[in-house]
Amino acid sequence: MKIVKHYFKDKLKIIGLFMICSCIFMFVFKLYQLELEAIVYSCYLCAIFLGSVMIFDFIQYVKKHEAMQTNLEIAWLKDHHLIKDDTLIGKDYQQVIHYLSKQLHDEMTKADEDRKNLEDYYSLWVHQIKLPIAAIKLLLETQESLDKRLLKSELFRIDQYVNMVLTYLRMNSIDTDYHFAKYDIDNIIRPIIRKFSNEFIRKKIRLNYTENHTSILTDDKWLSFIIEQLLSNALKYTEKGFINIYMEDDQKLIIEDSGIGIDACDIPRIFEKGYTGFNGRYDKKASGIGLYLCQNIAEHLSHQIKIQSQKNIGTKAVLYLGHYDLKVE
């Protein structure tokens, strides 16, 4: 009975119009002094015709309602699920539904891709963080007098991996915000150098750092992450020699090392997510995420990163700190 009630409510205008027209016809027929029997008979025929049409229309109405209820149970609407309606309004509704269903499908596809990317990254992250944990366990089990520097180094690696996964999550969050202000570049670099000081001492790598006191427009938190990753890579792939940190032309921050370098064939792909190249496969500790995150963050900060390298000679990371086309989302 509920559907009957809704049907008559939807068709109330048509029924009302029929009643008004019937009254007008009866009034006109009365003016011409036609017999009442003829008037009543005409109204009776019209009512039978209208009733037949409404019964047929009601059947179609019920079918459409049932079909729409069925469509609600599927994840999204496809063209062959749409109710056939050749009216102009019906076609407009079909276009709206088609657009919304396509939008829903695109969003679901993107959500699936994001979920898969997170799963892949977490799988890699878990594998990475197991390495320093295993190293710490081995130190605790085999050495009576612990090498504190080595222990600190492994703990430092764990801290880096944790910071990286937090950065990965924050970067993909819609709540991520960037706070731009003027900063002295040396005030950003010095704490990072102190953070890596134990690694420089442990590996006996010479650090040449030239202060510049250049003022730049950036977000200090996100820029610090970029510099940390570039310096971490320099330390990771430098077994002996030096690392130079200096400014050039007050716009370019240079981090230069005398490490193993990068194969020429790997350089075009080093910013791809998950790509480790020959060095990563050799080292077994690379994630292929660090430079990918650096590149994405640099774009949001309107900075640029370029890598120059020669195999067995060293690598030069150039961070352009001038503002180009500021990325706004």
| Model pLDDT for residues 172-182, shown as the tens digit of each residue | 665 567 888 99
Of 73, 105, 128, the residue that ends a domain is 73
135 occurs within a structural domain: no
Element (H, E) at 212: none
Residue 130's contacts (CB-CB under 8 Å, 6 or more residues apart) are: none
Say yes or no: 185 and 318 in one domain.
Answer: yes
pTM: 0.60
| Range ranked top by mean pLDDT from 9-13, 40-44, 139-143, 205-209 | 205-209
Of 48, 73, 98, the residue that ends a domain is 73
- Long-range contacts (CB closer than 8 Å, 24 or more residues apart) made by 69-73: none
- The CATH number assigned to the domain holding 203 equals 3.30.565.10
According to the model, what pLDDT value does residue 72 have? 58
139 occurs within a structural domain: no
Say yes or no: 196 and 325 in one domain.
Answer: yes
Say yes or no: 190 and 323 in one domain.
Answer: yes
217 occurs within a structural domain: yes
219 occurs within a structural domain: yes
Say yes or no: 69 and 205 in one domain.
Answer: no
117 occurs within a structural domain: no
297 occurs within a structural domain: yes
Q: Which domain holds residue 281?
A: 178-329
Among 69-73, 113-117, 230-234, where is mean pLDDT lowest? 69-73
| Model pLDDT for residues 258-277, shown as the tens digit of each residue | 999 988 888 888 888 777 76
List, as one string, the DSSP characters of 81-113.
GSPP--SHHHHHHHHHHHHHHHHHHHHHHHHHH
**Distance set, CA 273 to CA 33, 72, 164, 210 (Å):** 91, 38, 13, 32
Reported as a pLDDT band with limits 50, 70 and 90, residue 228 is very high
Domain count, the chain: 2
Of 73, 89, 116, the residue that ends a domain is 73
276 occurs within a structural domain: yes
